[in-house]
Protein backbone atom coordinates (compact mmCIF):
# COMPACT_ATOMS: atom_id res chain seq x y z
CA UNK A 1 0.00 0.00 0.00
CA UNK A 2 1.22 3.45 -0.78
CA UNK A 3 1.35 6.42 1.55
CA UNK A 4 -1.84 7.88 0.13
CA UNK A 5 -3.89 4.84 1.21
CA UNK A 6 -2.34 5.02 4.63
CA UNK A 7 -3.11 8.71 4.88
CA UNK A 8 -6.74 8.19 3.84
CA UNK A 9 -7.09 5.36 6.35
CA UNK A 10 -5.60 7.38 9.19
CA UNK A 11 -7.67 10.45 8.36
CA UNK A 12 -10.88 8.44 8.29
CA UNK A 13 -10.09 6.75 11.61
CA UNK A 14 -9.14 10.05 13.23
CA UNK A 15 -12.33 11.80 12.05
CA UNK A 16 -14.48 8.91 13.22
CA UNK A 17 -12.82 8.92 16.63
CA UNK A 18 -13.16 12.70 16.90
CA UNK A 19 -16.88 12.48 16.17
CA UNK A 20 -17.34 9.37 18.29
CA UNK A 21 -19.04 7.66 15.34
CA UNK A 22 -19.34 3.90 14.92
CA UNK A 23 -18.82 2.45 11.45
CA UNK A 24 -22.61 2.17 11.24
CA UNK A 25 -23.05 5.85 11.99
CA UNK A 26 -20.30 6.81 9.54
CA UNK A 27 -22.02 4.71 6.85
CA UNK A 28 -25.31 6.52 7.52
CA UNK A 29 -23.71 9.96 7.37
CA UNK A 30 -21.60 9.38 4.26
CA UNK A 31 -23.75 7.03 2.20
CA UNK A 32 -20.72 4.75 1.84
CA UNK A 33 -21.23 1.18 3.02
CA UNK A 34 -19.92 0.04 6.38
CA UNK A 35 -18.00 -2.75 4.63
CA UNK A 36 -16.27 -0.27 2.32
CA UNK A 37 -15.42 2.10 5.16
CA UNK A 38 -13.92 -0.81 7.11
CA UNK A 39 -11.83 -1.85 4.11
CA UNK A 40 -10.56 1.69 3.65
CA UNK A 41 -9.62 1.93 7.32
CA UNK A 42 -7.74 -1.38 7.11
CA UNK A 43 -6.04 -0.21 3.90
CA UNK A 44 -7.56 -3.16 2.07
CA UNK A 45 -9.37 -1.03 -0.47
CA UNK A 46 -8.62 2.20 -2.27
CA UNK A 47 -11.59 4.53 -2.60
CA UNK A 48 -12.53 6.23 -5.83
CA UNK A 49 -12.50 10.00 -5.90
CA UNK A 50 -16.32 9.93 -5.97
CA UNK A 51 -16.33 7.79 -2.80
CA UNK A 52 -13.82 10.08 -1.12
CA UNK A 53 -16.06 13.04 -1.85
CA UNK A 54 -18.98 11.26 -0.19
CA UNK A 55 -16.87 10.52 2.87
CA UNK A 56 -15.59 14.10 3.07
CA UNK A 57 -19.15 15.43 2.73
CA UNK A 58 -20.55 13.09 5.39
CA UNK A 59 -17.88 14.16 7.84
CA UNK A 60 -18.22 17.81 6.81
CA UNK A 61 -14.52 17.86 6.06
CA UNK A 62 -12.66 19.43 3.13
CA UNK A 63 -11.73 17.02 0.34
CA UNK A 64 -8.04 17.86 0.48
CA UNK A 65 -7.90 16.56 4.05
CA UNK A 66 -7.99 13.08 2.58
CA UNK A 67 -5.40 13.39 -0.12
CA UNK A 68 -2.68 15.45 1.45
CA UNK A 69 -1.27 15.87 4.91
CA UNK A 70 -0.02 19.30 3.99
CA UNK A 71 -1.78 22.01 5.90
CA UNK A 72 -1.90 25.49 4.50
CA UNK A 73 -0.21 27.07 7.49
CA UNK A 74 1.08 30.24 5.94
CA UNK A 75 -0.06 32.96 3.61
CA UNK A 76 2.67 31.93 1.23
CA UNK A 77 3.00 28.32 0.23
CA UNK A 78 4.45 26.63 -2.77
CA UNK A 79 2.11 24.40 -4.72
CA UNK A 80 2.80 20.71 -4.53
CA UNK A 81 1.32 19.32 -7.71
CA UNK A 82 2.80 16.02 -8.71
CA UNK A 83 2.85 14.58 -5.23
CA UNK A 84 -0.53 12.90 -5.27
CA UNK A 85 -1.41 10.23 -7.77
CA UNK A 86 -4.80 8.81 -8.67
CA UNK A 87 -5.80 6.55 -5.81
CA UNK A 88 -8.09 4.15 -7.65
CA UNK A 89 -7.82 2.49 -11.08
CA UNK A 90 -11.34 3.74 -11.91
CA UNK A 91 -9.91 7.24 -11.77
CA UNK A 92 -7.05 6.54 -14.17
CA UNK A 93 -8.23 9.32 -16.47
CA UNK A 94 -8.72 11.84 -13.68
CA UNK A 95 -5.70 13.08 -11.76
CA UNK A 96 -6.31 15.36 -8.84
CA UNK A 97 -3.44 17.31 -7.33
CA UNK A 98 -3.92 19.52 -4.31
CA UNK A 99 -2.41 22.83 -5.32
CA UNK A 100 -3.32 24.62 -2.12
CA UNK A 101 -4.87 22.39 0.56
CA UNK A 102 -7.85 23.60 2.56
CA UNK A 103 -7.24 26.95 4.20
CA UNK A 104 -9.21 27.46 7.40
CA UNK A 105 -9.20 31.23 7.14
CA UNK A 106 -10.09 31.53 3.49
CA UNK A 107 -12.41 28.49 3.50
CA UNK A 108 -11.09 27.31 0.21
CA UNK A 109 -8.97 24.64 -1.39
CA UNK A 110 -7.48 24.73 -4.86
CA UNK A 111 -6.82 21.72 -7.04
CA UNK A 112 -5.04 21.19 -10.30
CA UNK A 113 -6.93 18.48 -12.18
CA UNK A 114 -5.82 16.65 -15.30
CA UNK A 115 -8.59 15.14 -17.40
CA UNK A 116 -7.11 12.70 -19.87
CA UNK A 117 -8.80 12.16 -23.25
CA UNK A 118 -12.17 10.48 -22.75
CA UNK A 119 -12.38 11.24 -19.04
CA UNK A 120 -15.87 11.63 -17.60
CA UNK A 121 -16.34 12.15 -13.90
CA UNK A 122 -19.64 12.73 -12.14
CA UNK A 123 -19.76 14.32 -8.71
CA UNK A 124 -22.53 13.93 -6.19
CA UNK A 125 -23.76 17.21 -4.68
CA UNK A 126 -21.52 18.82 -2.08
CA UNK A 127 -22.92 20.52 1.01
CA UNK A 128 -25.14 23.59 0.60
CA UNK A 129 -23.09 26.72 0.03
CA UNK A 130 -20.17 25.01 -1.69
CA UNK A 131 -19.10 26.93 -4.80
CA UNK A 132 -16.70 25.67 -7.44
CA UNK A 133 -14.71 27.75 -9.90
CA UNK A 134 -13.36 25.76 -12.83
CA UNK A 135 -10.72 27.50 -14.93
CA UNK A 136 -9.20 25.78 -17.96
CA UNK A 137 -5.46 26.21 -18.14
CA UNK A 138 -4.81 23.78 -21.00
CA UNK A 139 -7.03 22.31 -23.71
CA UNK A 140 -10.82 22.21 -23.63
CA UNK A 141 -13.29 20.40 -21.42
CA UNK A 142 -16.93 20.43 -20.38
CA UNK A 143 -18.67 20.96 -17.06
CA UNK A 144 -22.15 19.60 -16.32
CA UNK A 145 -24.23 22.18 -14.50
CA UNK A 146 -28.03 22.35 -14.24
CA UNK A 147 -28.23 19.31 -16.50
CA UNK A 148 -26.29 20.91 -19.35
CA UNK A 149 -22.72 20.27 -20.47
CA UNK A 150 -21.00 23.61 -20.93
CA UNK A 151 -17.83 23.72 -23.03
CA UNK A 152 -14.89 25.66 -21.66
CA UNK A 153 -11.80 26.47 -23.68
CA UNK A 154 -8.35 27.36 -22.46
CA UNK A 155 -8.50 30.56 -20.44
CA UNK A 156 -12.24 30.33 -19.77
CA UNK A 157 -13.80 29.75 -16.39
CA UNK A 158 -17.13 28.81 -14.87
CA UNK A 159 -18.42 29.38 -11.36
CA UNK A 160 -21.29 27.23 -10.15
CA UNK A 161 -23.09 26.02 -7.08
CA UNK A 162 -21.72 22.56 -6.34
CA UNK A 163 -24.59 21.62 -4.05
CA UNK A 164 -26.22 19.94 -7.02
CA UNK A 165 -25.09 16.98 -9.15
CA UNK A 166 -22.31 18.08 -11.49
CA UNK A 167 -19.67 16.59 -13.72
CA UNK A 168 -16.47 17.11 -15.66
CA UNK A 169 -15.52 15.53 -18.96
CA UNK A 170 -12.99 15.76 -21.75
CA UNK A 171 -14.20 14.60 -25.13
CA UNK A 172 -11.16 15.86 -26.99
CA UNK A 173 -8.18 13.71 -27.89
CA UNK A 174 -5.76 15.74 -25.79
CA UNK A 175 -5.30 16.20 -22.10
CA UNK A 176 -7.20 19.06 -20.48
CA UNK A 177 -5.91 20.74 -17.35
CA UNK A 178 -8.08 22.78 -15.03
CA UNK A 179 -7.84 24.61 -11.77
CA UNK A 180 -10.75 23.85 -9.47
CA UNK A 181 -11.18 26.38 -6.69
CA UNK A 182 -13.62 25.08 -4.10
CA UNK A 183 -15.10 27.58 -1.67
CA UNK A 184 -16.86 26.26 1.40
CA UNK A 185 -18.39 29.42 2.82
CA UNK A 186 -17.92 29.42 6.56
CA UNK A 187 -19.04 25.85 7.16
CA UNK A 188 -15.86 24.69 8.88
CA UNK A 189 -15.11 27.78 10.91
MN1 LIG B 1 -17.31 18.81 -7.26
* Domain stops at, among 27, 51, 66: 66
Å from CA of 131 to ligand 1 middle: 9
Å from CA of 46 to ligand 1 middle: 19
pLDDT truncated to tens, each residue of the chain (189 aa)? 457 788 899 999 999 999 999 999 999 999 999 999 999 999 998 888 889 999 999 998 988 888 765 444 444 555 555 555 555 777 889 988 888 888 888 899 999 999 999 999 999 888 888 999 999 999 999 999 999 999 999 999 999 999 999 999 999 999 999 999 999 986 554
The whole-angstrom separation of Cα 50 and Cα 103 is: 22
φ/ψ region of 118 (left if φ > 0, alpha if ψ in -120 to 50, else beta) reads: left
Å from CA of 126 to ligand 1 middle: 7
- List residues, by chain if needed, whose CB lies under 5 Å from ion ligand 1: 123, 162
Q: Is the pTM of this model over 0.75?
A: yes
Å from CA of 189 to ligand 1 middle: 20
Å from CA of 41 to ligand 1 middle: 24
Q: What phi, psi does 50 have (nearest 5°)?
A: -60, -40
What is the DSSP secondary structure assignment for residue 46, as one 8-state letter?
P
Same domain, 124 and 173: yes
Give me the CATH number covering residue 158: 2.60.120.10
The whole-angstrom separation of Cα 156 and Cα 140 is: 9
Å from CA of 87 to ligand 1 middle: 17
* Residue 59 maps to a domain: yes
Which of 69, 20, 11 has its CA nearest to residue 40?
Answer: 11
Å from CA of 94 to ligand 1 middle: 13
Q: What is the pLDDT of residue 104?
A: 83
Å from CA of 73 to ligand 1 middle: 24
Å from CA of 22 to ligand 1 middle: 27
Handedness of CA 135, 132, 7, 170 (dihedral sign): negative
Task: Determine the structural domain holding residue 171 and report its residue range.
Answer: 89-183
Q: What is the pLDDT of residue 101?
A: 82
Number of domains in the chain: 2
* Radius of gyration (C-alpha) of the chain in whole angstroms: 16
Å from CA of 130 to ligand 1 middle: 9
The whole-angstrom separation of Cα 116 and Cα 82 is: 15
Same domain, 93 and 171: yes
Handedness of CA 95, 129, 57, 189 (dihedral sign): positive
User: Which residues fall within 8 angstroms of residue 9, CB to CB, at 6 or more apart?
Assistant: 40, 41, 42, 43
Q: What is the pLDDT of residue 75?
A: 45
Same domain, 61 and 94: no
Give me the CATH number covering residue 52: 1.10.260.40
* Residue 189 maps to a domain: no
Same domain, 56 and 106: no
Amino acid sequence: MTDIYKHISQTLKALRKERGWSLDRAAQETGVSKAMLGQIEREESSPTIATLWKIAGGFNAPFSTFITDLRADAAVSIHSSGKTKAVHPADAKLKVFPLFPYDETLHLEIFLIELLAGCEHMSSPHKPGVIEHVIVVLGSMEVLVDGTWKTLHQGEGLRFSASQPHGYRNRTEDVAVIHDIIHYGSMYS
